[in-house]
Amino acid sequence: MDNNSKNVAEIYFKFNRKDYFLNSENLNLRVGLYVIVEADKGADIGKVAVLSMNLNELKIETDDLKKIVRIADDKDLERLKRVREMEAKAKTQFLESLKKQPFIMHFVDVEYQFDGNRLTFYFMAKTRIDFRNFLKDLASIFHTRIELRQINDFQEIRRLGAFGVCGRELCCKKFISKLPTITSQMMRDQNIISTFSKISGICGKWLCCFAFEEENYQEISKSFPDIDDEITIRKKNMRVRKCNYLSSTIQLIDEDGNKKTISLSEFDAIKNKKSKRI
């Protein structure tokens, strides 16, 4: 890790937002500390989540990072309380204005930028919404920059938090910031054969576990034969039907449909014995 990486911190904001900021002033930071950071046309406040981020892994250049301005003081924390009160009031006003609109929108959350220069409303909707007129109404009420940000099921579940089938807190709540890409090839690589309900999370998408484990399965698979590889056992030709990486076993099938399971070591021994004869 280079010196620049040591001066980069991950900062969390309301609604599970996070971003990376440069500690150019070498402030004495610690996890859980509130800090004032640069924001678009102003300043925002967030909480230190992680210190010394690896920029090479994040693929981020320090020139692209905004800076941590200072550690929040008592006055800042008092202002933060007032900001939260303003957000509660803004929610009420938003919902009152929403009643007059010709569309259905589910309010999720509201967030004021610390300096008041921006007000963001998060919502969910089943279809795309033309909210330009609604945006104008909100701007006339709050007299600041307004953003309406539509979120999906993944983002909402991540915000609320829950526990997965493994019994642990959802990865998207705990540490994932971007939903990983899960492919059907991963299912084949990991020998996943199950109903969709058993391999999907509560968000309705495939479990993120498959992305985490894919590299490990790809490495393990190098020790196993390919599907349809042939082997002769007691003068009977059999081919590989399935490889079980967890139990280190191989399922074989002959021309008559008879199945037989042997260990990987047995398979290798038979193969090696045959190659020596050759």
Instruction: Express each pLDDT in 107-161 by its tens digit.
Output: 999 999 999 999 999 999 988 888 889 999 999 999 999 999 998 777 777 777 7
Domain boundaries, the chain: 3-72, 78-151, 157-221, 230-277
Q: Which residues are bridge partners to 249 per DSSP? A: 244, 263
CA distance linking residue 75 with residue 92, whole number of Å: 26
pTM above 0.75, yes or no: no
CA torsion sign for 97, 102, 107, 110 is negative
Q: For the chain, give me the number of helices (H) and strands (E)?
A: 10, 12
pLDDT tens by residue, 26-54: 999 999 999 999 998 899 999 999 887 77
pLDDT at 189 over 90: no
Q: Which of 94, 115, 97 has its CA nearest to residue 41?
A: 115
Residue with the bigger pLDDT between 71 and 276: it is 71
Q: Across residues 64-83, what is the average pLDDT?
A: 95
pLDDT at 277: 52
Q: Choose from 35-39, 174-178, 202-206 the range with maximum mean pLDDT.
A: 35-39
User: Residue 278 pLDDT > 50, yes or no?
Assistant: no
Predicted confidence at residue 3, as pLDDT, reads: 54
Task: Judge contact between 33 and 49, C-beta under 8 A.
Answer: no
Q: Which stretch of 86-100, 212-226, 261-275 has the lowest confidence by average pLDDT?
A: 261-275
**Among residues 249, 247, 251, which one has the least CA distance to residue 239?**
251
What pLDDT score does 273 carry?
73
What pLDDT does residue 71 have?
Answer: 97
Alpha helices, DSSP H, located in the chain: 3-6, 55-58, 74-98, 132-142, 153-160, 171-174, 184-189, 196-199, 209-221, 264-277
- Give the span between the Cα atoms of 200 and 189, in whole angstroms: 17
- CATH label, 78-151, candidates 3.90.79.10, 3.30.1370.100, 3.20.20.60, 3.30.300.20: 3.30.300.20
Any idea which residue has 């941590």 for tokens? 68
In this prediction, residue 75 carries a pLDDT of 97
User: Which range, 101-115, 160-174, 207-221, is most confident?
Assistant: 101-115
Cβ–Cβ < 8 Å for 149, 77? no
pLDDT at 2 over 60: no
The token pair at 16 is 């599970």
Question: Taking the C-alpha atoms of 149, 150, 152 and 155 in order, what is their torsion angle to the nearest 10 degrees?
Answer: 20
Give yes or no for a contact between 168 and 196, defined as CB atoms under 8 angstroms apart. no
218, 241 Cβ separation under 8 angstroms: no
Report the chain's mean pLDDT, rounded to a whole number.
Answer: 86
Provide the terminal-to-terminal Cα distance of the chain, rounded to the nearest Å: 52
Find the angle CA(126)-CA(130)-CA(132) to the nearest 5 degrees.
140
One-letter amino acid for residue 113 of the chain: Q
Which one is predicted more confidently, 165 or 232? 232
Residue 25 falls in which region: left (phi positive, over 0), alpha (psi -120 to 50) or beta: alpha
**pLDDT classification of 165: cutoffs 50, 70, 90:** confident
Q: Is the pLDDT of residue 265 over 50?
A: yes
**What residues does 46 pair with on adjacent strands?**
35
Q: Tell me the C-alpha distance between 36 and 46, whole Å.
A: 7
Q: Is pLDDT above 60 for 275?
A: no
Q: What percent of the chain has pLDDT over 70?
A: 92
DSSP state of 179: P
